[in-house]
Amino acid sequence: MEQLAPHEKVFVADTFVRDPYHGVMGCQECHGGDPGNPDYLTAHDGVVRDPSHPPGGSVCADCHPEIADSSRTSLHTTLAPFARLVRTRASTSPDIRASVDRARATHCSACHISCGQCHVSRPTYVGGGLMDGHVFQRKPPMRETCTACHSSRIAQEYFGHNGGTLPDVHWRERFFDCMRCHDGKEMHGDGLEPKDRYHVANAPRCEHCHLDIYGEDAPNGTQHRTHRDLVSCHVCHSQPYASCYDCHLALDDFGFRYYRSSVTVLNFKIGRNAQPTPLRPETYVLLRHVPVTSKTFAYYAKDGLSRFAALPTWKPATPHNIQRRTPQNASCNACHGNTVRFLLPGDVCPGECVANRDVVVPETMVPARVDFQAAQTGHDRGIRP
Amino acid sequence: MPLHKVACAAAVLVAVLLLAGAGAGVMAPEGPNHCLDCHTTPARLVQAVREIADSARGIPTVSTAFEGSG
């Protein structure tokens, strides 16, 4: 996404001033500062750039108390899984753990957002800047907010920017924006503290729209019924997606944070669902290698992630590059017995075998090839859902 | 003048004074809003950000050591 010019980032449009709700409030009511001071340098003393952070205690809560309250525990606000996962891998030594926590806060937890960073400005993490002259956006613009942050994976997948892949069918044919599936209720949270994004109660599921895929008369109904709760939708309908294999975090000579990740590969790996839940009951899911190694926090603490093997490095993935027809669903044996599509023990880096023991698929668990005749009769040709 | 007319006039006078006082509170002088003067005028913003950029020339604001995709 192209950055805004510095003056564009702080430009306020006349249309905002005419907003009958937000526009009639004095600037200082939310941002502080001294509107009566003509010297812009001193007038900005005490100015709060984003008065909507944190959501629960922000200026937004005065008029939007329910949303502000539920947003306090939204994953976009807390990034809580980062803390839990990093701590699970971290050393138990208090000193080392404190260093790892500092690294996490500096790097991993830097991309949290607030009400304003979706509805007023671009997120700070991607450079910020007012959208549409400070006019409040009831529905955040996708490219300036959602895919601005979720860029290297989701945006690349959804818009078909990964080499050799097509845009997601929901974009290519229907131009669905993110909010079409990820609505405000999900984004604003429900006041609970989900373990991770796969435990968000009001997160979307394919079946929410594709209601009838399991019906007797449904296109490919036999296949959908056969694989229901065994295989996630993405296993059959995703294209290859990016996996990152490392990430090193540090501060430069000026004290600014940076990361370096060197290995990014497009692949497609079916693995085991290590933690089935009522929302995600499938046995087989897609897995993506997440950008972490045992040395990720080495700048801050040697052996900071001394319990690295406590969690898999291949994590459940829901690539946003859905197609109706894919190489793996072209026929039964495109997947059954096709070990290339599965994350076999030999596909895992030598130092990560223990970490991934619960998600790799031993060859004995790869579904066996099916009889060709049976495949033909069971694979009814359907029409577009 | 009959007493009831005096009382009525006094009541009206008190009401008018109260309303005027309340109105004076709402209509407190606001003074100029320099926030909007500047932030709604691109030319002034450009001038200000140039001045700020000149004063901070050579001072980095973000690391240049990033590599790879985040």
Contact A35 B33 (CB under 8 A): yes
pLDDT grade for A57, boundaries at 50, 70 and 90: confident
pLDDT grade for A279, boundaries at 50, 70 and 90: confident
* Bond prior to A345 in cis (omega within 30° of 0): no
Residues 251-290 of A with CB under 8 A from B: 251-252, 254, 256-262, 264
Q: Which of B35, B61, B65 sits opposite A258 (nearest CB)?
A: B65
Q: Does A36 touch chain B (CB under 8 A)?
A: yes
- The mean pLDDT of A366-370, rounded to a whole number, is 94
Q: Does A192 touch chain B (CB under 8 A)?
A: no
Residue position matching structure tokens 């979307």:
A204
Q: What is the DSSP string of B19-56?
A: HHHHHHHHT------HHHHHHT-HHHHHHHHHHHHHHT
Task: Please tell me the distance in Å from A7's CA to the nearest CA on chain B.
Answer: 5
Determine which of A320-334, A352-366, B50-64 has the lowest per-residue pLDDT on average.
B50-64
Tell me how crowded residue A306 is: count the other CB atoms within 10 A of its CB: 17
Express each pLDDT in A93-116 by its tens digit: 999 999 999 999 999 888 889 999
If you average pLDDT over every residue of chain B, what do you get? 73
Cβ contacts (< 8 Å) between A27 and chain B: which residues? 33, 35-36
Q: Which of A360, A359, A354, A362 is nearest to A89 (CA)?
A: A354
Rounded CA-CA distance A359/A339 in Å is 15
From the centroid of its chain, how far is CA A143?
A: 15
Question: With 0-12 CB in 10 A as exposed, 13-18 as middle and 19+ as buried, what is A234?
Answer: buried
Determine which of A10-19, A139-148, A203-212, B25-34 has the lowest per-residue pLDDT on average.
B25-34
Closest residue, chain A, to B44 (C-alpha): A7
Say what the pLDDT of residue B29 is: 43
Given a cut of 80, whether residue A368 has pLDDT beyond it is yes
Task: Please tell me the distance in Å from B17's CA to the nearest CA on chain A.
Answer: 28
Say what the pLDDT of residue B9 is: 64
Contact A254 B42 (CB under 8 A): no
If you average pLDDT over every residue of chain A, what do you get? 93
DSSP H helices in A107-155? 116-119, 146-149
Task: Please tell me the distance in Å from B6's CA to the nearest CA on chain A.
Answer: 44
Given a cut of 70, whether residue A313 has pLDDT beyond it is yes
Rounded CA-CA distance A304/A298 in Å is 7
Cβ pair B45, A11 in contact under 8 A: yes
Cα angle for residues A122, A125, A127 (degrees, 5° grid): 60
- The mean pLDDT of A299-317, rounded to a whole number, is 96
Contact B32 A38 (CB under 8 A): yes
Residues 6+ apart with CB under 8 A from B51: none
* CB contact burial A246-270 (16+ within 10 A = b; e otherwise): bbbbbbeeeeebbbebeebeeebbb
Say what the pLDDT of residue B22 is: 38
* Structure tokens given for A24: 């009639």
Provide φ and ψ at A269, rounded to 5°.
-135, 125
Say what the pLDDT of residue A112 is: 84
Q: Which of B26, B28, B27, B45 is nearest to B36 (CA)?
A: B45
- The mean pLDDT of A327-338, rounded to a whole number, is 96
Considering just the CA atoms, what is the radius of gyration of chain A in Å? Answer: 24
Say what the pLDDT of residue A363 is: 95
pLDDT grade for B17, boundaries at 50, 70 and 90: very low
Contact A258 B42 (CB under 8 A): no
- The mean pLDDT of A359-380, rounded to a whole number, is 79
Say what the pLDDT of residue A375 is: 58
Contact A38 B46 (CB under 8 A): no
